[in-house]
Chains A and B, each alone.
Chain A
Amino acid sequence: MKNMWWKLLGAALILYTLIGGMTIPLKPGLADIIPTAIKTGEKAEFLVIGYNTNFEQSEGLTAWLKADSIRSIEAIKVVPQSATELVATFLLPNDMPNANSFHPLTVVVNSKADGICVLPGQVALQKGVIDTLNTSQWSSIKSLHRKTDFNFPYRNILVETIRNIFYHVPLWFAMAMVFFIGVIYSILNLRNPLVKYDANAVAFTEIGVLLGVLGTITGAIWAKNTWGQYWSWDIKQNMSAIAIMVYLAYFVLRGSFDDREKSARISAVYNIFAFASLIPLLVIIPRMTESLHPGNGGNPGMGGEDLDHTMKYFLYPAFIGWTLLAVWMSNIRARFLILKDKMMLKFNQ
């Protein structure tokens, strides 16, 4: 029982991230707007579709079209149709917000119950006919209600798949950790060839490959929902597939020896070599080329707008939880391998 605490901690953290990560709702957001093209000087009526919103019983419901930080226009009339639909009427000013002939507008809907909902750059504004009776002017957004409930952020495209960050990213993190521990056992095995070192190196590497496969699968599912395809031959996907191949080669190598001691030594050498080659594969190369994956090819990684503080309460425990679980699994596997080795010795005598 004395050495159980970290295993229980790992299980508890994973349970916590599973329950919290799956049940906490997203913040209200805007899913769509119709129409998506308007002209200056006209009176435009929009149908705004919300997600997780509560338009009907919202007090202080306002809508804005925002051109930049100081030029916005408030809706003259906002009529909720249902909890997730509202019709907003705008009287657009005669002048364009700047010298361009085309300008993207961001839709902002605000109420006491929903807080600030934003749909960035969805409406295209073009130069229209000047209406002399129109006195509408660009102004800055005033007095927005803020919502402070504990919710995950709403992001267009990501929507509910944002929860995958609690599983996909920690799986890769745990994989790197487990491979690293495996390499340490391989180094120990080279310095002092013992069965327990070899068994641990194999066990940790096996669990690492398992986590890598799971990381690739969760990534593919995420890619299906955000990039459009399970496998889009993105550099990050290719490189992770190759990284798994490097480790599969490790198992092929182990299997090609009859002599146990020799197998342990040579595969330890290859394991260290393979781990070092993982660094250019997963870290350097994807940064050099174009990639859809966050953190690569000039895309922002974790942090900034994408990692809301509410998510950190689950992401960081998930890192620790999955790593502890992976170490636990590897431990069981290593103990099994050591026992198997002892049994073999007994039978051979």
Chain B
Amino acid sequence: MVQEIIHLIAKEFRLEMRRKHALGGILLYVISSVYIVYAGFFNIPKQSWNAIFWILMLFASINAVAKSFVQENSGSQLYLYQLAHPSAILIAKMIYNAGLLFLIGILTFVVLSTFTGDQVRDTGMFIGFLALAAIGFSICFTFTAAIASKSNSGTGLLAILSFPVVIPILMSLVKLSANALGLIMDSSYFTDILNLLAIDAMMLALTFLLFPYLWRD
């Protein structure tokens, strides 16, 4: 199982390397939207910086994850399900997406900070929250992408299905990152992290319970 997962992650990585235009597209998306934000604001207040960062991150993430199930053709998926255990495929995609989303988060953070000045008071803490965000978004989006891929509507349906579900995670993250920005001084942010991890764990458990009913056609 572990061997399978490692091979599957390597496969995802190799596929990504073959489609460099997809990564380039995300990079372009981040830079151009940051530029629009810069052109509109010039001086971003911290409160808005926090909101804008998470909005950019949300849309960049959904575009990145949409590749994983939605834009694959069903023939190759069927082939893959016969080669490997379906749960291993799901785990591999989640781990790979978490890594990808973390990189996108760092990228958005770096680009936004370059344009608008470094607004974060505690960078280490902020990067930690980015990692938490990557894990949460990855679990939520990978599973909803698996659902959306079963219909023919594609990426549009993915946004409809995942945005309401991801809001609890996003709300906790916005509150946590307000801490890292120095907007609020909340010494008990540890409970927020625990809340977030609890939501993650619940979604992860459900994902594994429900995925066996999902992949078969």
Partners in one complex: yes
| One of A135-143, A162-170, A273-281 contacting the partner | A273-281
- Tell me the residues in window 196-217 of chain B with beta carbons closer than 8 Å to chain A beta carbons: 198-199, 202-203, 206, 209-210, 213-214, 217
Q: With a CB–CB cut-off of 8 A, which chain B residues contact A257?
A: 150-151
A277 touching B168 by the CB < 8 A rule? Answer: yes
If over half of B's interface residues share one DSSP class (helix, strand or loop), that class is named, otherwise mixed; here it is helix
B165 touching A277 by the CB < 8 A rule? Answer: yes
> Provided the pairs A262-B150, A262-B217, A269-B213 are in contact, do residues A245 and B157 lie with their beta carbons within 8 angstroms?
no
B143 touching A285 by the CB < 8 A rule? Answer: no
Number of chain A residues whose Cβ lies closer than 8 Å to a Cβ of chain B: 28
> Provided the pairs A280-B199, A288-B175 are in contact, do residues A272 and B210 lie with their beta carbons within 8 angstroms?
yes
**Bound complex: CA of A277 vs CA of B198, how far in Å?**
12
> Provided the pairs A242-B167, A252-B160, A277-B168 are in contact, do residues A268 and B213 lie with their beta carbons within 8 angstroms?
yes
Confirm or deny: A253 has a beta carbon within 8 angstroms of a beta carbon on chain B.
yes
Confirm or deny: B164 has a beta carbon within 8 angstroms of a beta carbon on chain A.
yes
Q: With a CB–CB cut-off of 8 A, which chain B residues contact A284?
A: 168, 195, 198-199
Confirm or deny: A266 has a beta carbon within 8 angstroms of a beta carbon on chain B.
yes
B147 touching A269 by the CB < 8 A rule? Answer: yes
Give the 3 A-B CB pairs with smallest separation, nearest first. Answer: A280-B168, A256-B151, A246-B164
Chain B interface residues toward A at CB < 8 A: 143-144, 147, 150-153, 157, 160-161, 163-165, 167-168, 171-172, 175, 192, 195, 198-199, 202-203, 206, 209-210, 213-214, 217
Query: What are 9 A-to-B residue pairs whose CB atoms are below 8 Å?
Result: A245-B163, A246-B164, A252-B157, A257-B150, A272-B206, A274-B165, A276-B202, A277-B168, A281-B168
Give 14 new A-B contacts, CB below 8 A, not counting A273-B143, A280-B202.
A190-B210, A245-B163, A245-B164, A252-B161, A253-B161, A257-B151, A268-B213, A269-B147, A269-B210, A270-B161, A273-B210, A276-B206, A280-B195, A284-B168
